[in-house]
Amino acid sequence: WLERQSKPVIVALCLLLTALLGLADYRTGYEAYFAVFYLLPISLAAYFVSGRAGLFMGLLCALLRFGIEVLTDKPYSSPLFLYWNGLSRLLIFSFITVILAQLRRALQYERMLARSDFLTGAANARSFNESANQELQRARRHARPFTIVYMDVDNFKTINDTRGHQAGDDLLRAIVRTLRQYLRETDIVARLGGDEFALLLFDADEQAATTAIEKVRGQLMQMVDKNGWPVTFSIGSLTCRRAPESLESLMKRADDLAYEA
């Protein structure tokens, strides 16, 4: 549920939790230990918003707890212990914030790797299939057209055989950069494996898809000519005015069109 909420909503929730905890902490006095519960809003802010938000919540909670101790006149043998405890809580809150923010970044990176092609940074087959299935469901509800494009790099093996695999990798990365540059940000660019690519063009009918594909093909040819790569591109495009029965049948038809080319 929290993953689906916007950052302002989560920040507001954290502030509300902090206020409720502070009120309960003040009402119970120093007899009940509430400091550990402040970790809840701090953790939510650090994990679901950002490290800075977590640090802010940590500072806020530490100051709130410090103020409550001052107001409740908690007995200390020396006033120094009041400041020592406040500083210790702030350090602990900050340490936990850093750990959670790093954990969040690590999980996001792993999630990105699971959905993207390591070599080119394009979407992988799994990610493409998920996006295509979502588009099929949307097309069934709203009857909006979309286009799927299959593309093979002709003579790609020649590049690897004559210039080495590094040149082949450079070509694949250049293809993805060109596709992303001349397609819309909302369109999906995927590498299915080897020299096979797939594109998902949202809300694109035959005319819009043809215009976009011709533009991309022209830019790809300019790119390979400029770099002296002796390759061409076989492209199969399939526009759906209504959702087909299954994604598998749709992908096969687009693949057959690319094979014909």
User: Average pLDDT in the 78-83 region?
Assistant: 79
| pLDDT tens string 88-142 | 888 988 998 999 888 888 887 777 666 788 888 888 888 888 888 888 788 777 7
Structure tokens at 155: 């003579």
The contacts of residue 52 (CB under 8 Å, 6+ apart) are: none
Q: What is the pTM of this model?
A: 0.61
pLDDT of residue 86: 81
pLDDT tens by residue, 176-213: 999 999 999 889 999 988 899 999 998 888 899 999 99
Sign of the torsion formed by the C-alpha atoms of 7, 12, 18 and 20: negative
Given a contact cutoff of 8 angstroms between Cβ atoms, the answer to whether 244 and 136 are in contact is yes
